[in-house]
Structure 1
């Protein structure tokens, strides 16, 4: 029986294909955006669950982009810590404690929009929401609203429809025992090198927020409240 991993890869398992998003690329997109907003200063990295492979890949991506800045001292890691089970309460607590200690925060990279929400809640208590760039991912409705209102700077959108369509295509080929489409991407899941079919993620800001609406991910009324 063929096995496909959808969005999250199973580790140490004999699977036939992985269909998902390039999580390393997501980390790169986040880092590149923050560099434009804050090319130096104190960065806060709020990671997801420590045993989630996606957490590791996103971290790998932003570390790739920021290595030179970190090594040169232009960027200082004020905090880099995990949020167990992706709970936003951890994100809130991390940022709140830093602010209470009088630390200056220049940028926050949260590995999803829920964690970004936790961080922004802590900033809001000090009237700093919207004054410090915060990025997340998933294009959650509340995150899109925060972007429109100026509280969150960017979210990484992952086109679910494209992912579903590609998964159906790969599934049909496996069931018919046909040759899988060519891919240059492979992921080592601890058992073998798994062919990976990756959808390109997209950075969403207040400048292109309408893309979310055009693709039917959220409605205009939901995002803008009109």
Structure 2
């Protein structure tokens, strides 16, 4: 099913607090270094909560742990591919020795890769694949889509009409999620009424699309919704709630956002896909520090011609919240079980 070796991810995931998170779209750096070892971390956007809340601080903390004379130049493109191109060029001009790049647009980012490599600056494609990058770190993205499709088939009893909301066409991961989901759904008894490729993963767009579809169908007849990530799942939930739905059909998701975990416990979302971000951020930091120090790893696998680390995602439903995101300390019980969700938490055995 998959063309490459999967690396299983287990163990505790400790969230490391880092003071002074940068404002959205702003630059920041770890100024603990006193030398010229600069690593540029370029992330794509801020609408998805993981980047500012997890990827950035975890990456910075790991670099600081591994390399006392390294500093991180952090830049966020705010979903603007042109802005990301300019940020990358500035980072190279400012002396970055390595770019760790999560692209807004995977195809457009090949230009960044070529520019960096012409300056002898290696590029680590982070979370999203970039053709020609020196290294790639991500999760098994087709498997993510398969897990979402499998969960939806199970939750619906393999029958009925569904909606599909995919990710951005410019995000190379979105195509892999979509492929994995279709590999399951197309062989099932589910009928896709309408399908939408969301230009920027926008929850607002997801809500508008779902609301427009509910004008044409009876919401009570909707068997389920495939949402490629938790942000869109939130938009779907909002549209259904506005339409007067109280008994929510199964909705999929991804990223294990806090709001999604709470919706899952409350019966408002069926599942999410948890990708232990600390493992990914730590691996990227280790690789970046190795490259800054002139070391090349030998433990990679091949993905489309690029030396890669491919990590294994985890499906989360109400039944295993306690054994996944809570056990790994991704969220605490106090984080999840606010007053609004106290009863749902108690029912799930979290309190």
Which protein is bigger by CA-based radius of gyration?
Answer: 2
> Which among 46, 50, 53 is matched to residue 172 of structure 2?
53
CA distance in 2, matches of 1:21, 1:129: 34
**Aligned pair 1:17/2:132, yes or no?**
no
Once the two structures are TM-superposed, the CA of residue 102 in structure 1 deviates from its matched residue by 2.5
CA distance in 1, matches of 2:247, 2:286: 42
- Tell me which residue corresponds to 1:83: 198
> Which among 280, 300, 313 is matched to residue 163 of structure 1?
280
Give deviations 1:162-219, integer Å, cap 9, x for gaps: 1122223333444433342142x413xxxxx212211111111111112212212112
Once the two structures are TM-superposed, the CA of residue 88 in structure 1 deviates from its matched residue by 1.2
Q: 1:125 to 1:91 in 2, by over 3 A?
A: same
- Tell me which residue corresponds to 1:213: 326
CA distance in 2, matches of 1:179, 1:96: 49
Once the two structures are TM-superposed, the CA of residue 126 in structure 1 deviates from its matched residue by 2.9
Q: Report how many residues are paired.
A: 214
**Cα RMSD for the two superposed structures:** 1.7
**Aligned pair 1:147/2:264, yes or no?**
yes
> Which among 233, 248, 256 is matched to residue 116 of structure 1?
233
- Tell me which residue corresponds to 2:296: 178
**TM-score normalised according to structure 1 size:** 0.88
Q: Given that residues 300 and 308 in structure 2 are in contact (C-alpha distance below 8 angstroms), is that contact kept between their aligned partners in structure 1? A: no
Residues 32-47 of structure 1 correspond to what in structure 2 (within 5 A)? 32-38=150-156, 39-47=158-166
The ranges of structure 1 where at least 4 consecutive aligned residues each deviate by more than 6 angstroms after the TM superposition are none
Once the two structures are TM-superposed, the CA of residue 35 in structure 1 deviates from its matched residue by 0.8
Give deviations 1:58-106, integer Å, cap 9, x for gaps: 001111122322xxxx221111112221111221122212222224321
Q: Given that residues 148 and 206 in structure 1 are in contact (C-alpha distance below 8 angstroms), is that contact kept between their aligned partners in structure 2? A: yes
Once the two structures are TM-superposed, the CA of residue 27 in structure 1 deviates from its matched residue by 0.2
Q: Given that residues 153 and 190 in structure 2 are in contact (C-alpha distance below 8 angstroms), is that contact kept between their aligned partners in structure 1? A: no
Q: Residue 4 of structure 1 aligns to a residue in which SS?
A: strand
- Tell me which residue corresponds to 1:190: none
- Tell me which residue corresponds to 2:27: none
**Structure 1 stretches of 5 or more lacking a match?**
188-192
> Which among 307, 311, 318 is matched to residue 195 of structure 1?
307
**Structure 2 stretches of 5 or more lacking a match?**
1-120, 340-351
CA distance in 1, matches of 2:268, 2:262: 9
Q: Given that residues 48 and 84 in structure 1 are in contact (C-alpha distance below 8 angstroms), is that contact kept between their aligned partners in structure 2? A: yes
CA distance in 2, matches of 1:216, 1:179: 29
Q: 1:178 to 1:225 in 2, by over 3 A?
A: same
**TM-score normalised according to structure 2 size:** 0.58
Higher relative contact order (CA 8 A, sep 6+): 1
- Tell me which residue corresponds to 1:6: 126
> Which among 63, 83, 108 is matched to residue 182 of structure 2?
63
Q: Residue 107 of structure 1 aligns to a residue in which SS?
A: strand
**Aligned pair 1:102/2:217, yes or no?**
yes
Give deviations 1:86-135, integer Å, cap 9, x for gaps: 11122112221222222432111111111000001111123335430001
Between stretches 87-96 and 98-107, larger displacement belongs to 98-107
CA distance in 2, matches of 1:53, 1:122: 27
